[in-house]
Amino acid sequence: MTSQTTTQADRYAQSTAAFAKARALMPGGVSSPVRAYKAVGREPVTVRCGKGAIVTDIDGQEYIDYVLSYGPLILGHAEESVLAAISKAAGRGASFGMPTEAETQLAQVVVDAVPSVEVVRFVNSGTEAVMSAIRLARGATGKPKIVKCTGCYHGHSDGLLVQAGSGATTLGVPSSPGVPEAITSNTLLIPYNDLDAVRSVFKEHANQIACLVVEPIAGNMGCIPPAPGYLQGLRDLCDEFDVLLMFDEVMTGFRVAYGGAQALYGITPDLTCLGKVIGGGLPCAAYGGREDLMRQVSPDGPIYQAGTLSGNPLAMAAGLATLESLQEDGVYEQLEASSATLEAGLRDAASTAGVPIYLTRVGSMLGLFFSDSPITNYEQALACNTDRFAAFFNSMLDNGIILAPAQYEAWFVSTAHDETAIKKTLDAAALGFAAAIV
Ligand SMILES: *Cc1c(COP(=O)(O)O)cnc(C)c1O
C-alpha cells in the first residue's frame, strides 16, 4: 500500500531487483540501449503488462504511456481486435517458411495505402528494411554512394550508423567501433532541412550516388518536421541528378497519416521503408516502391535479400488488424484532436512554469525540446538543455507518466489516449516543468 512515508526506493523495489538480475546477464540489462535510461540518470521500470494507454510495472504502479513501444502501438496496448487476430493466427501455427494468404492481404493493404509502393517485400525490422532497400538502390543504379542526413536514424546496419560531422558535408565517420571506414566512406552526410547541402553533395559526387535516404519527418532527433518545400526540393534535386529518393517511413508510415508522410505532403519517393505501426507491435517491417525497381529483388531479379521469419503469420495478422482499424472513419481526426489538446496543454504548462520549450507536432508524433530557439536540424537539437529534460522526465515518471527516456525520442499518442489520460498528463506536466526549472 502506498503511503506518504513510502520512499522512492520502496516504490520501485521490484523493478530495481529485476533490473539487477537483468544487468548481470545482458549488456546494460536491456535488449536495446535507450531502454537502460542512461540519459536520465536512473534505472528503468520493468513492465508487467499494458492495456490501452496504460502500462503497469512489476511493483504494480500504473503509467500513461507515450513510448508505445517507440511508435508501433497506435491503437494502444493489447487492443482487442489485434489480440484476437494474433490469437487466431497463433492457433494455426506460428511460422511456416511457406507462403500464406495473410502476406498477400497485408501487401494489398500497403500498396493501396502508400502512394509510392507498387510492390513490397516484408522483413522483420526497420533496420533490415532500410539495409535491404539501400542494397536495392545500389544494385539497381550500379552506384556505390548514399546520402543521409545527420541526426536521422535508419537502423543500426553498418553503412547507416553514421552521424558525425555537422554543418559542412563530411565523409562518413563511423558512430560505433566495429564499423569499418571502408563501408561508411560511401555514406555522405548532410544537415537536415538544407537543400543547398543536397545540391552541393550531388554535384561533388556526380554519377556516384545511388540514393538519398531521409526521414520525411525526422523522428529520431526529437520530432523535426520538414521545412516548407524541403521534400519537394529533395524530389526535384533527385530527379535533376538522377539519384533515387528513399523515404524512411518506419516511424511515420501509418502514423502521421494513413498513407504516411508522403501522402500528407504529397511527395512520392522512389523507394519507401516501413516498420513499427505496420506490424501492430509484432516484429514486421517492409520496403517497397516502383515496380521496375522492386522486380530486381530476388527471386524476380538478382538483388539478394531473404528472411526465415519474414512475412511471419502472427506479425501479418497483427499488422492487418491494426491497419484495418486505422481505416475506420475518424481515427486520424481523433488522434489529431487528442494530440492537439496535449500540445496546447504542454505549451500552457511550460509557459506557466516559465520554462522555454520548442514543441513540434505532426499528427500523433510530438517533439519536446528544452530550447528557447527553433530546432530544425541535428546541430540545433544537440544544443538543447538535456538536464532540464532529465528533471522533467523523472518528475513525469514519478507522477505516473512514462516518456521515452531521452529528449531525442518522439512522443507518440494512441487512439486509447482519451481526455482523462491527456488531462492527467497535463496535470503531471505542470509539476514536471516546475521541476525542470530548478
Ligand atoms: C525505428 C526506426 C528504424 C529502425 O527500426 P528497427 O525496427 O528498430 O530496426 C529505422 N528508421 C526509422 C526512421 C526508425 O524510426
175 pLDDT more than 80: no
pLDDT category, 168, cuts 50, 70, 90? very low
Which residue, 276, 418, 254, 215, is CA-closest to 332?
Answer: 254
Pocket test for ligand 1, best of 34, 160, 251 (most atoms within 8 A of CB): 251
Residue 33 lies in a domain: yes
- Whether 195 and 273 share a structural domain: yes
Mutation probe of ligand 1 site: the residue of 30, 163, 249, 250 with most atoms within 8 A of C-beta? 250
Instruction: Give the predicted TM-score (pTM) of the model.
Output: 0.96
91 and 107 fall within a common domain:
yes
Question: For residue 220, what pLDDT is reported?
Answer: 93
Same domain assignment for residues 237 and 300 = yes
Verify that 208 and 310 share a domain, yes or no. yes
Q: Give me ligand 1 centre to Cα 2, in Å.
A: 38
Nearest-atom index, ligand 1, CA of 215? 13
- Residue 311 DSSP class: T
Cβ atoms 269, 344 nearer than 8 A = no
Residue whose CA lies nearest to ligand 1 atom number 5: 126
How much is the pLDDT for 177? 85
Is 192 one of the annotated active-site residues of the chain? no
Residues found in the chain:
438
Range of the domain at 242: 80-326
- Please check whether residue 75 lies inside any domain of the structure: no
CA-nearest of 427, 354, 359, 417 to 395 is 427
Residue 155 pLDDT > 70, yes or no? yes
Q: Is 153 a catalytic residue?
A: yes
Predicted local distance difference test score (pLDDT) of residue 179: 87
Q: For residue 420, how far is its CA from the centre of ligand 1 (angstroms)?
A: 31
What is the pLDDT, as a whole number, of residue 171?
60
Q: Strand, helix or coil at 245?
A: strand
Taking the CA of residue 251 as reference, the ligand 1 atom at the shortest distance is 15
Is a pLDDT exceeding 80 seen at residue 217? yes
Which pLDDT tens digit goes with each residue over 222-273?
Answer: 999 999 999 999 999 999 999 999 999 999 999 999 999 999 999 999 999 9
- Pick the catalytic residue: 143, 145, 148, 276? 276
pLDDT tens string 333-362:
999 999 999 999 999 999 999 999 999 999
Among 311, 326, 341, give the residue marking a domain's end: 326
Amino acid 162: pLDDT? 80
Q: How many C-beta neighbours within 10 Å does residue 154 have?
A: 27
DSSP per position, 79-103: -HHHHHHHHHHHHH-S--SS--HHH
CA distance 158 to 156: 6
Residue 166 has pLDDT above 80, yes or no: no
Residue 72 lies in a domain: no
> How does the average pLDDT of the chain come out, rounded?
95
- Looking at the fold, whether 38 and 26 belong to one and the same domain comes out as yes
**103-150 pLDDT per residue, tens:** 999 999 999 999 999 999 999 999 999 999 999 999 999 999 999 999
**Of 248, 258, 270, 358, which residue is the catalytic one?**
248
- For residue 401, the cross-strand partners are 64
Count of other CB atoms within 10 angstroms of residue 164? 13
* 316 lies in the same domain as 336: no
Inform me whether the pLDDT recorded for 198 exceeds 70. yes
How many structural domains does the chain have? 2
Note whether 170 and 277 are same-domain residues. Answer: yes
Confirm whether 71 is domain-assigned: no
Same domain for 221 and 243: yes
413 and 315 in a single domain? The answer is no
What is the mean predicted confidence (pLDDT) over 212-230?
97
Average pLDDT over residues 19-48: 95
Q: Looking at the domain assignment, is residue 73 inside a domain?
A: no
DSSP character at residue 16: H
Ligand 1 mean position, distance from CA 249 (Å): 9
Q: Which residues of 122-137 are buried (b: 16+ CB within 10 A; e: fewer)?
A: bbbbbbbbbbbbbbbb
pLDDT of residue 372: 94
- Looking at residue 165, its pLDDT comes to 36
Helix (H) or strand (E) holding 13: helix 13-25
**Domain assignment of residue 235, yes or no:** yes
Q: Indicate whether 94 and 34 sit together in one domain.
A: no
Work out the percent of the chain whose per-residue pLDDT is above 70: 96
**Residues 278, 281: Cα–Cα separation, whole Å:** 8
The C-alpha angle 302, 125, 320, rounded to 5 degrees, equals: 100
Q: Does residue 321 sit in the same domain as residue 377? A: no
The CATH number of whichever domain residue 207 belongs to comes to 3.40.640.10
Give the model confidence (pLDDT) of 37-76 as tens digits: 988 999 999 999 999 999 999 999 999 999 999 999 999 9
The model's confidence at residue 169, banded by pLDDT at 50, 70 and 90, is very low
The domain that contains 43 carries what CATH number?
3.90.1150.10
Collapse the DSSP code of 413 into the 3-class scheme (helix H, G, I; strand E, B; otherwise coil) and give the result: coil
The reply to whether 248 belongs to the active site is yes
Pocket of ligand 1 (CB under 6 A): 125-127, 130, 153-155, 215, 219-220, 248, 250-251, 275, 285
Helix (H, G, I), strand (E, B) or coil at 307: coil
For residue 91, count CB atoms less than 10 angstroms from its CB and return exposed for 0-12, middle for 13-18, buried for 19 or more: exposed
Helix crossing, 101-113 with 313-326: angle to 10°? 40
- Find the 154 Cα to ligand 1 centroid distance in Å: 6
Let me know if residue 259 belongs to a domain.
yes
Candidates 34, 68, 127: which one to mutate for ligand 1, based on the most atoms within 8 Å of Cβ? 127
* Residue 70 belongs to some domain of the structure: no
Return d(Cα 234, Cα 223) in angstroms, integer.
19
Q: Indicate which atom in ligand 1 lies nearest the CA of residue 283.
A: 7
Residue in 248, 257, 150 with CA at minimum distance from that of residue 201 = 150
Residues 236 and 300 in one domain: yes
State how far the Cα of 199 lies from the Cα of 202, in Å rounded to an integer. 5
